[in-house]
Chain A
Amino acid sequence: MTVHLLFFASVREQLGVAREELPLPPGVGTMGELRAFLRQRGPAWQAALAEGRILRTAVNQSMATTATRIADGDEIAFFPPVTGG
């Protein structure tokens, strides 16, 4: 399955990537599993998506949790807590 990843604000800057199409290996079926998988891509990924860091995630533009299931073609976003207004 392939997903469309989006990164915003400080997460985007740390990774140096705003968007990416990424094929996922079998066994990556939830947001928690995806985050763990992405951390293995290198030091920048390990830091930006570190286990203790409070991040928000969205699947198809709805807020997600670590248990949210992901499917082929999903739009998946990682971003820090929001600071608008």
Chain B
Amino acid sequence: MKIAIQREPFEVDAELDSLSRGNASIGALAAFVGLVRDSSEGASVGRMTLEHYPGMTEKSIGAIVEQARGRWQVIDCTVIHRIGELEPTDRIVLVAVASAHRHDAFAACEFIMDYLKTRAPFWKKERTLEGARWVEARSSDDEAAERWGEFAKPERRG
């Protein structure tokens, strides 16, 4: 299992290759790549800055991956999330899951991504023509995470 929070770009091909290389029990690899869009909430976005909580971010992604392993048959997985300065078309996040069969790989990949969006401490600040602004959390992301069932009940607000 690989979890990395990094400033540097990542190579999807290289990551998928190292995830599955030499393991003949893997029959399926599902990967999600998130990119920086050039627009958000109707405004044009130039660059953005990604901030995280060192220590807790890694720990929370590790816990999300463990939950996925408890629900689906996951042979291995890679989660890479970039921080720092990013611009449109840059890749922000990679979630890749290796499994024996596609159903487990697809489901675990989507689950990890939905949970990461609502649980892992990252924050985006966008620079638009109107100035810099912190991205607001979206209730549609909470709903996406909640559909996975009882593990996904939102935290009580503290």
User: Can you name the residue of chain A whose Cβ is closest to the Cβ of B142?
Assistant: A81
Contacts A81-B137, A83-B137, A84-B81: A9 and B158 contacting too (C-beta < 8 A)? no
- Chain A min CB distance to B33 (Å): 11
CB pair B158–A83 under 8 Å, yes or no, is: no
Contacts A8-B51, A58-B56, A85-B117: A80 and B134 contacting too (C-beta < 8 A)? yes
User: Which residues of A from 20 to 61 have beta carbons under 8 Å from B?
Assistant: 31-32, 35, 54-58, 61
Q: How many residues of A contact B (CB 8 A)?
A: 27
Binding site for B on A (CB under 8 A): 6, 8-10, 31-32, 35, 54-58, 61, 63-68, 77, 79-85
B21 CB-CB contact with A under 8 Å:
no
CB pair B158–A84 under 8 Å, yes or no, is: no
CB pair A84–B117 under 8 Å, yes or no, is: yes
User: Which residues of B from 107 to 147 have beta carbons under 8 Å from A?
Assistant: 113, 116-125, 134-137
Ordered nearest first, which 4 A-B pairs have the shortest CB separation?
A84-B122, A81-B137, A57-B158, A9-B123
CB pair A66–B156 under 8 Å, yes or no, is: yes
Binding site for A on B (CB under 8 A): 34, 50-53, 55-56, 59-60, 81, 92-93, 113, 116-125, 134-137, 155-158
* Chain A residues, Cβ within 8 Å of B124: 83-84
Contacts A32-B158, A56-B158: A9 and B134 contacting too (C-beta < 8 A)? yes
CB pair B53–A79 under 8 Å, yes or no, is: yes
